Chain A
Amino acid sequence: KAGVTQTPRYLIKTRGQQVTLSCSPISGHRSVSWYQQTPGQGLQFLFEYFSETQRNKGNFPGRFSGRQFSNSRSEMNVSTLELGDSALYLCASSLSVAQGSSTDTQYFGPGTRLTVL
């Protein structure tokens, strides 16, 4: 079974621009979560999508948004980029049989490394 894929793997943008990152989950997985990883803040949860609906959201400004399509693929958008948005963005998918199940294992993709100049 193919793993989680993310595109693009690397991006360079300038301040003020916007960016869209894409994530394809493992086949059959219905939940997609996004995380931001920076040296200063570590790994932080952005949001989770399930059946095309945002089910959970972390503490990030509204410039960060996402969506999920009917085939469970997800996109994440960051508008008006700031230097501090430079990070590794990781996408994870899970089966998510029941909402809020603490047994749900998340499998991660290789990440998209975003650099904002």
Chain B
Amino acid sequence: AQKITQTQPGMFVQEKEAVTLDCTYDTSDQSYGLFWYKQPSSGEMIFLIYQGSYDEQNATEGRYSLNFQKARKSANLVISASQLGDSAMYFCAMSSNNAGNMLTFGGGTRLMVKP
């Protein structure tokens, strides 16, 4: 069974500063993928970034980067230069070759950006 844990229910960050959202995972599968999604108050889940378990380099997408530490089973999301529009719920999720297309989600972190 797979499990995702996000230990920060809510976080504040000052506009233009960087912020790290924590995510730890548990799986017995060797091949898996880690994803981060953003959910604004409108409800739509927006894909941000992906990291494969065999990827040796940390994934980056614009202001988003994923700090992947395989031995510690962590996949933290780093948002640089926070903007007011970054205020939203953020979900960490994983899939594995043994689980098909099923995504297992963490409980989410609500990020609030202060002007």
CB atoms of B102 and A105 under 8 A apart: no
The number of chain B residues touching the other chain, given as a range, is: 20 to 34
Give the docked Cα–Cα distance between A96 and B103 (Å): 13
CB atoms of B42 and A31 under 8 A apart: no
Give chain B residues whose Cβ lies under 8 Å from the Cβ of A56. 99-102
CB atoms of A101 and B47 under 8 A apart: no
User: B11 an interface residue at 8 Å Cβ cutoff?
Assistant: no
User: A90 an interface residue at 8 Å Cβ cutoff?
Assistant: yes
> Please, what's the 1-or-0 string for B33-46, where 1 marks a CB less than 8 Å from any CB in chain A?
10101000011111
B36 to chain A, nearest CB (A): 11
B46 to chain A, nearest CB (A): 7
Query: What is the count of residue pairs linking A and B with beta-carbon distances less than 8 angstroms?
Result: 79
Q: Find B101's partner among A88, A90, A106, A113 (CB 8 Å cutoff).
A: A106
With most chain B CB atoms within 10 A of its CB, the pick from A106, A109, A113 is A106
Give chain A residues whose Cβ lies under 8 Å from the Cβ of B32. 102
CB atoms of B44 and A100 under 8 A apart: no
Give the docked Cα–Cα distance between A88 and B106 (Å): 16
CB atoms of B101 and A107 under 8 A apart: no
Closest 7 CB pairs of A and B: A108-B45, A102-B33, A43-B105, A56-B100, A110-B44, A111-B43, A45-B102
Interface residues of B (CB under 8 A from A): 29, 31-33, 35, 37, 42-47, 50, 52-53, 91, 93-108
Q: What are 30 A-B contacts defined by CB distance under 8 Å?
A: A42-B108, A45-B102, A45-B104, A48-B100, A50-B101, A55-B100, A56-B99, A56-B100, A56-B101, A56-B102, A58-B102, A88-B43, A90-B45, A96-B101, A100-B98, A100-B100, A101-B97, A102-B32, A102-B33, A102-B94, A102-B97, A103-B50, A104-B33, A104-B101, A106-B35, A106-B47, A106-B103, A107-B47, A110-B42, A110-B43
